[in-house]
Structure 1
């Protein structure tokens, strides 16, 4: 089961790679369309909503499933539901052209996809990574952050936003250093830093 879950996690990371470059390709080729936007969101629901929900479910139900009396494990699919809500609201919200409200679905999906790899790097973490008392509150928290009215910066570089670009370079540099030293365990740290980034940006403007 571990190998199957990790394969699914690798595919989430691969999906995030293509999700980043399909936007670049569409802008470079001027191939943007409304239906393309909707299809992109549909793909994101699967890659960063359904698959991460299945990953949490399998961490909670490592054997044959579902285990009688443990139907609460289906709580993991709240991530799927709230990812769909997040993507639907993003498509119709004009306020999210150059920034975000709520945690982007790729960040949420990558956070979850990194979890099964962490015990390989830090064996002591294996005691709680798959524990319901960790996974269920995490599921609820991530589900809330997906739709929370939390303003978050876009990491797309812009010629007009030099101050924002400076932040992006610094943030991406920190991300690369964290990945170099922590590997997959860097992903949750990066997501937490991203969630805290509005505080840093506000402090720099004061």
Structure 2
């Protein structure tokens, strides 16, 4: 991608997604994947001849339920079914049903393992005459901490100490993903996420906010780190 190509030529990459309420810098984020489940059945009149159909909604429900325990939180692998759709009319046995799942992982190999598990699960069908397909795609790779990122984050902590403020640094992903992970694929430089303003409630419809008093410290932090990188104080 363009991000990967351009980042490979840089000494450091900063991503200005919002931080948490304490202003934590993130050196690692989860990879993001998506699973797409499609069930094909057969339509029929739900009142006059339901037995003539193959209920895609029943099969979809069966598949989602048998896939609900594929998460492995202890290793950062998460799979959650979040969107589903079936049917066209109340009085028609649905001939098609679909569902989508959000997946998170700390390693690309975990995504490979998850995809294999999904393909294995769909072999077990509730309705033998139904057809079930599942597709999986990695949308963003995991971001993993490296030594360059640790050095930059360490300098950030020193700068905040000069301001009389603490600065937390997280080297383990907490579930969120980032486009900055593409920057880390081929670079040896630092990639630091969470350089944006402190706040809370990301993606909430009524509880998201930023802390106004984090604006000046964040601008100062960014400026100082760029200056230190430019004059050779930070390598």
Shared fold per TM-score greater than 0.5: no
**Of the two structures, which has the highest relative contact order with CA contacts closer than 8 Å and spacing of 6 or more?**
2
Q: What band does the TM-score fall into relative to the shorter chain?
A: under 0.3
Tell me which structure has the larger Cα radius of gyration: 2
Per residue, is there more strand in 1 or in 2? 2
The TM-score normalised by the length of structure 1 is 0.25
